Structure 1
Amino acid sequence: MIVVGVDGSASALDAVRWAAMEAGRRRMPLRLVSSYQLSAGVAGVLDPGVLDVLREQGRRWLAEARDVADEAGVRTSIVLAPVPAVLLLVRESLDASLLVLGSRGFGGFTGLLIGSTAVALAGRAHCPMVVVRGEVPAHGPVVVGVDGLRDSEDAVAFAFAEASAQDADVVAVHVWHESLADAVLLGHPTPPDFDGAQQRAYETLAERLAGWQEKYPDVHVTREVVRDHPSEALLRYAEGARLVVVGTRGRGGVRGLVLGSTSQHLLQHAPCPVAVVRTEPDRE
C-alpha cells in the first residue's frame, strides 16, 4: 500500500498523481490521508461548528484527490481523522510500503516539510518517504547519496529497486570534504593527502555498492566521487534526475543529510522528487 498526504493544495495533488503512477507500477492500492483538528488553545473558545466545517473541507479535499487518482486506474481508500498530521502519517506508515507528500501545503499539513516537523516525520516514519517537488521527468536516472558507513544501505536498496522498476540508471554519489584549513585547525603537521582521500572514497563507494549490481543486473550504475559540500553536490546531480534518494542517518560523506542543513536544503531546493529512506531499527 502507498499512503499519500492530502491537504487541498496543488502540491498535494501533484503528490497524488505521482503516488498513483507508482501504485500502478507496483500494483498496489493507494491510501489517501487527510487530517483536521483545532489547536488546544482555541478548541474551547470557538464555535463547535468549526470542527464540522473542517471535517467537511477534508472530505472535499479527499474527493478531489480521489478523482485525480482514478485517472491512473488504481484502487483507492481514504482516511480522514481529527488528529495531528504527523501522528496520523506515522501511524499510517506502519502498514505502508511508501509515504508520499507534496513539497508545499496548507491546512492539516501546514509546514510539514519545514523545521522540526520534517525531521520528526523523517525519523519516525516506518517506511520510505517521498517528497514530490519540482518537475517529475519521465526520463533520467535515480540519484542516490551513498554514505561512508552502512547507514545508507537501505537508501541504496531503495534506489536500485526504483531504477529497476522504472527502467532507469542509477547514479551513486559519494561526497567527501577535506580542506587545507581543516588540516591546519586540527593541528596536522602535513597537508592532507587529497589523492589518497579520493582513492579511499572510491573504495568506500565500491564497498557500499557491492552486491547490488549483481542483484539488479538490468540497472546501469555510474559511480561518482566528488570533493564538495553534500548539499551542493547532490543538488547538482539531481538536475535531470527522476528521483534523488538519501538516508536518514547520513555520516561521513553525507554527514547530517537528514537531521541537518543538507536535508533541509535538498527538500527545499531539489528540482525533482526526493526520497528519504530511514535506517531499519535493527541497525540503529
Structure 2
Amino acid sequence: MHTLVDRSLIVVGTDGSTTALGAVRWAAGEAAARQVPLRIVHVAPPHDPDPMFGAPDPERDFGGDVLLDASAAALETARDCVIAPQYRRGDVRSVLRREASDSGLLVLGSVGRDRLGSLLLGWTATELAVTAPCSVVFVTSHPDVTAPTASVVSRVRPVLAVLGGAEDTWGEWDMIVAAAVREARLRCTTVLLASSADPHGGRTGPDLSERIAQWHEEGPDVRIDSVSRRRNLPEFALSLSHAARLVVVGPPEHDRVHPLGTMGRTVHTLLHSSGRPVMIVRNSPIGEPRSAADASPSSLSAGHTD
C-alpha cells in the first residue's frame, strides 16, 4: 500500500462565512486527532500600501476579527488544538497553495447544490482541487462535519473510498485506500470501497479480492468492505456517501470530462450534492506521471472481503 507523506501541519482557509467556520471546526478536530498544529489562514485582496503612516486599514481589521472568530471556533471544537492564525494578502488560490506547501492537509469550505460558499467561487475551487500541493478536504456546512470521534454513531458509518478515474491504476487505488484506512482508524470505524470494477476481473485487468486482502493485511485493525456497480460511478458513489462519515477520492484531473474541464465527474458530483466532507488525496507532485508498473500487479484476484 502507498505510504502517504505525513507532514506535521493542517492548513484551513477562512473568510468568516458560516461555511468556512464549519471547515475550521472540522480541521480543528482533525488536528487534535492527529496531534498536529492547525494553521488558520485569512487572505485579503492585494493592494498597494497606504502612503499615510497610521491610516486605518479596514481590511486588516476585518481579517483580524475573522481570525479571532475562527480561532474561537477551533478551540470550542478541540481545546488542546495548537492554533497559528495567519493574515495574508494576495490571490486566494496562490496564497493557499503556498501556505499548504509544508502541510499534510488543506481544508476548505465547499460549495453545495445551487449554493456557492463565499470562500470558494467557481474556478477557485476547481483550481485548488487540482493544483493543491497536498491532500484537500472540502467541508460543507452540514452539521455533522466536526471532530473525528469514537462514538457509536461513527462506528456504524464508514469512510467511503471511491476507486474511480478514467485511467485507474492499482498505484492510485493504493493511495486512496491508505488514506481511507487512516481516516477510518482515527474515527474507529470501517472502510467501504466503491468502484465500477468487475469483481471477477474487468477493465482494470486483475481481479479485486486479493488486492483487498492485501490492503487488509497492511491495516488489520480496520475492516474493509467492497461494493461495485459497472456503470455511473459518480451517482453510485453519491448514493453511498449519504451514509458515510467521510468520502475519499483520487485526484480529479484523472477523471476529466467535458464540459467540466479539469474537475472530475465523481469529484464534481460529490462536492455539489453529497453534503459530506470530501477528501481529495494526492501524495506526489502535480504532473508527476504514475508508474506503469503500478497498473499491472502480477499476483492479484477479485471479490469482497469482510
Query: 2:57 is matched with which residue?
Result: 52
Amino acid aligned to 2:240: Y
Query: 2:187 is matched with which residue?
Result: 166
TM-score normalised per structure 2: 0.74
Query: 1:237 is matched with which residue?
Result: 240
Query: 2:201 is matched with which residue?
Result: 200
Q: Give the 3-state SS of the residue equivalent to 1:241 in structure 2.
A: coil
Please give the alpha-carbon distance, in whole angstroms, between the structure 2 residues aligned to 1:50 and 1:155. 50
CA 37–221 in structure 1, closer or farther in 2 if over 3 Å, else same: same
Q: Give the 3-state SS of the residue equivalent to 2:102 in structure 1.
A: coil
Counterparts of residues 144-163 of structure 1 (less than 5 Å): 144-147=161-164, 148-149=168-169, 150-163=171-184
1:247 aligned to 2:250?
yes
Find 2:110's aligned residue among 93, 103, 109. 103
Q: Gaps (5+ residues) in structure 2?
A: 1-8, 112-116, 146-152, 291-306
Query: 1:179 is matched with which residue?
Result: none
From the two aligned structures, give the one with the greater helix fraction: 1
Compute the displacement of 1:98 (Å). Answer: 1.0
The structure number with the bigger radius of gyration is 1
Q: Which shows bigger deviation, 144-153 or 121-130?
A: 144-153
Compute the displacement of 1:151 (Å). Answer: 2.6
| Contact 1:248–1:279 (Cα < 8 Å) also in 2 | no
Please give the alpha-carbon distance, in whole angstroms, between the structure 2 residues aligned to 1:28 and 1:69. 13
Amino acid aligned to 1:263: V
| Contact 2:14–2:21 (Cα < 8 Å) also in 1 | yes
CA deviation digits over 1:169-206, x for unaligned, max 9? 00011125xxxxxxxxxxxxxxxxxxxx5521495433
Find 2:66's aligned residue among 57, 61, 69. 61
Amino acid aligned to 1:92: E
Compute the displacement of 1:249 (Å). Answer: 5.0
| Contact 1:12–1:102 (Cα < 8 Å) also in 2 | yes
Counterparts of residues 1-284 of structure 1 (less than 5 Å): 1-38=9-46, 52-71=57-76, 72-73=78-79, 74-104=81-111, 105-106=117-118, 109-111=119-121, 114=122, 116-133=123-140, 134-136=142-144, 139=154, 140-147=157-164, 148-149=168-169, 150-176=171-197, 197-201=198-202, 203-206=206-209, 208-209=211-212, 211-249=214-252, 259-281=263-285, 283-284=289-290
Query: 1:186 is matched with which residue?
Result: none
Compute the displacement of 1:273 (Å). Answer: 0.6
Amino acid aligned to 2:233: P
| Contact 1:93–1:125 (Cα < 8 Å) also in 2 | yes
CA 216–67 in structure 1, closer or farther in 2 if over 3 Å, else same: same
Q: Gaps (5+ residues) in structure 1?
A: 177-196
Q: Give the 3-state SS of the residue equivalent to 2:217 in structure 1.
A: helix
Amino acid aligned to 2:64: R
Q: Which shows bigger deviation, 237-246 or 96-105?
A: 96-105
Please give the alpha-carbon distance, in whole angstroms, between the structure 1 residues aligned to 2:132 and 2:256. 20
Q: Give the 3-state SS of the residue equivalent to 1:94 in structure 2.
A: helix
Please give the alpha-carbon distance, in whole angstroms, between the structure 1 residues aligned to 2:120 and 2:256. 28
| Contact 1:93–1:126 (Cα < 8 Å) also in 2 | yes
CA deviation digits over 1:189-235, x for unaligned, max 9? xxxxxxxx552149543365453211211111111111221210110
TM-score normalised per structure 1: 0.79
Q: Give the 3-state SS of the residue equivalent to 1:278 in structure 2.
A: coil
